Structure 1
Amino acid sequence: MHHQLRTLSKENAEGVAQHLVMVAALLEVDDFSGAEAHAETAVRRAGRVPAAREALGLVAYRKGEWARALSEFRTARRLSGSSHMLPLMVDCERGLGRPERALELAMSPEAKTLTVEERVELAIVISGIRRDLGQLDAARLALEIPQLKATGRKPWTTRLAYAYAETLLAVGREEDARTWFARAADTDTELETDAAERLAELDGVILTDLLEGEEEDDLEDVDHDRGNDRGNDRGNDRDHDRGTDGDR
């Protein structure tokens, strides 16, 4: 990102960088309106900086605004010459209800320039598109890539295992799906997925939120206390009124 900002004045570069940092931080906590405000400001100040257009595209993508996200990603790619956002562009086409165009983009020559992690993300998206089309075996095959059997924890391990488990479940291989949901749950230290819950469902375990009842009890206690306070206030008002009447 920093090398992209060298075309700006020092003051403007520093300001844009701060806005982009805020976009990332706010997306992390799902504050889409705040992230959008910072991204739009970054674009206004540096519209020809790929990172700014990419940031705005990411906000739109997280909001499910597929057309806007795709437009920003295309602009970022045109400005930078990089296709690293291709998996998200394919997913935007999918979101727009254009699976054939999405698959065509996924098979474009640019896909061969992606890093390993980006190729894994693209495989996950392609598998999802195949499932949308009812092509369940093709969806499974799309995920049977070398990275699926990689040892050790990689950046893609959890998401790939989860997607594969979903696909196996869709084709009726429940026991195999359980194995891959377990693998996803074991590596999901950041709670990216609901793999643990899906695993529990397959095992017939009903998960109960132990804090749920306590929260309801706390709310009932608060309401009860407020009711007593209101009752006491009304009682005090009546005593005050009676005292006044007595004085008269």
Structure 2
Amino acid sequence: MTQDRARRPGRDDRRGGAPGARGSRPERGGKPERGGKPERGGKPERGGRPERGGKPDARGGQERRGGPGARRTDDRRGPRRDPEQRSADQAAYDGPELPSDVTGDELDPSIRNQLKGLPEKLAARVARHLVAAGRAIDDDPELAYQHTKAARARAARLAVVREAAGEAAYAAGHYAEALAELRAAKRMNGVTAYLPIMADCHRAMGNPEQAIKLAKSPSVANFAPEAKAEMTIVEAGARRDMKQFDAALRTLEMAPLNSKNRAPWVVRLRYAYADTLEAAGRDQDALAWFHRTYAIDSEQLTDAAERAEALEGRLG
């Protein structure tokens, strides 16, 4: 999963739509203030060593013990968590059961290298969750997301883990979580390849303006053709969300629709263009571009053939 950074955004494009470390434990009541040693046989001075049975309070005296109404004087421990919340947190930390045949060695070496700062057993557990997530992401994205949550609970300070969590959350339809995780990963490693997915998350959350803003980021100009095509599809989709069909078509027309390359990104560009033409009411043009899409879609990534047949039936 994390080996292929630019997961395809716009999971609905084929239908014409949107393509801790734990807190440190407080000291046990703290040390009492230094007091003078009492003379032999006398009582300790205030602030000195307390008599048995109590701890010094903030004023140097003794804290009351026991009793259901006894007030805690050490507020640094924070509020007690609800047992149900603790149970949910523990379940997320444990994660789904790991397949017995997953060792973690299947992880790409470049990713394994990023786990080397963790203790050996912890790194192995995180690696196994990442591998399991990568296996499940296409068929069961929710399961993949739960695996990445378990990895994140153990290694939240690693960009590669936050990236995996963001990609799995996106695939599972948890768009707010995906956006948060990918933002965190981008802050950690400065990678801009996440921008198309982040923009599509904004679309899914009903913020097309933010998607367009990300599409205009200066770094997009330096993207590889595939990533640039994905951002174009997302931007055009955001324009469609705002009912700006002409602007969506212009956005797609600036992309290499007529490229002789038969790569999947060209197929997706053509399909998005045909779909937008139909949405704009230009059925004849849409029919032509569905045929042009089908002509290069040897892997049947789209339903261009079915869309063309449906249009032909409607046009007579």
**TM-score using structure 2 length:** 0.59
User: Residue 150 of structure 1 aligns with which residue?
Assistant: 259
1:170 aligns with 2:279: yes
Report the CA distance shift for 1:34/1:146 in structure 2 as closer, same or farther (over 3 A): closer
Q: Which entry has the higher C-alpha Rg, 1 or 2? A: 2
User: Residue 141 of structure 2 aligns with which residue?
Assistant: 32
User: Residue 114 of structure 2 aligns with which residue?
Assistant: 4
Root-mean-square deviation (CA, aligned residues, Å) is: 2.0
Q: Mind listing any 5+ residue stretches in structure 2 that lack a counterpart?
A: 1-110
> How many percent identity over aligned positions?
44
User: Residue 244 of structure 2 aligns with which residue?
Assistant: 135
Report the CA distance shift for 1:123/1:146 in structure 2 as closer, same or farther (over 3 A): closer
Higher relative contact order (CA 8 A, sep 6+): 2
User: Residue 289 of structure 2 aligns with which residue?
Assistant: 180
Question: Quick one: which amino acid aligns to residue 196 of structure 2?
Answer: P
1:21 aligns with 2:131: yes
Question: Quick one: which amino acid aligns to residue 27 of structure 1?
Answer: I
Q: What is the CA–CA distance in structure 2 between the aligned matches of 1:189 and 1:14, rounded to whole Å?
A: 39
Q: What is the CA–CA distance in structure 1 between the aligned matches of 2:145 and 2:236, rounded to whole Å?
A: 30
Q: 1:106·1:126 contact (CA, 8 Å) conserved in 2? A: yes
Question: Quick one: which amino acid aligns to residue 8 of structure 1?
Answer: L
Q: 1:83·1:113 contact (CA, 8 Å) conserved in 2? A: no
1:47 aligns with 2:156: yes
The residue matched to 2:313 in structure 1 has which SS?
coil
Q: Mind listing any 5+ residue stretches in structure 1 that lack a counterpart?
A: 206-248
Question: Quick one: which amino acid aligns to residue 64 of structure 1?
Answer: G
1:56 aligns with 2:56: no
Q: What is the CA–CA distance in structure 2 between the aligned matches of 1:7 and 1:147, rounded to whole Å?
A: 43
User: Residue 209 of structure 2 aligns with which residue?
Assistant: 100
1:65, distance to aligned residue in structure 2 (A): 1.9
Q: 2:142·2:172 contact (CA, 8 Å) conserved in 1? A: no
**TM-score using structure 1 length:** 0.74
1:91 aligns with 2:190: no
User: Residue 239 of structure 1 aligns with which residue?
Assistant: none
Q: 1:12·1:45 contact (CA, 8 Å) conserved in 2? A: yes
Q: How many pairs does the alignment contain?
A: 204
Report the CA distance shift for 1:149/1:42 in structure 2 as closer, same or farther (over 3 A): same
Q: 1:35·1:59 contact (CA, 8 Å) conserved in 2? A: yes
The residue matched to 1:156 in structure 2 has which SS?
helix
Higher helix share: 1
Decide which moves more: 160-169 or 185-194: 185-194
Report the CA distance shift for 1:96/1:155 in structure 2 as closer, same or farther (over 3 A): same
Q: 1:93·1:102 contact (CA, 8 Å) conserved in 2? A: yes
User: Residue 224 of structure 2 aligns with which residue?
Assistant: 115
1:26, distance to aligned residue in structure 2 (A): 0.8
Query: In the TM superposition, what whole-angstrom CA distance separates every residue of 1:5-37 from its partner, at most 9, and x where no partner exists?
Result: 3333454444433322221221121x1232122
1:175, distance to aligned residue in structure 2 (A): 2.3
Q: What is the CA–CA distance in structure 2 between the aligned matches of 1:162 and 1:108, rounded to whole Å?
A: 24
1:181, distance to aligned residue in structure 2 (A): 1.3
User: Residue 174 of structure 2 aligns with which residue?
Assistant: 65
1:69, distance to aligned residue in structure 2 (A): 1.0
Q: What is the CA–CA distance in structure 2 between the aligned matches of 1:123 and 1:104, rounded to whole Å?
A: 12
1:146, distance to aligned residue in structure 2 (A): 4.3
Q: What is the CA–CA distance in structure 1 between the aligned matches of 2:168 and 2:253, rounded to whole Å?
A: 31
Q: What is the CA–CA distance in structure 2 between the aligned matches of 1:134 and 1:37, rounded to whole Å?
A: 36
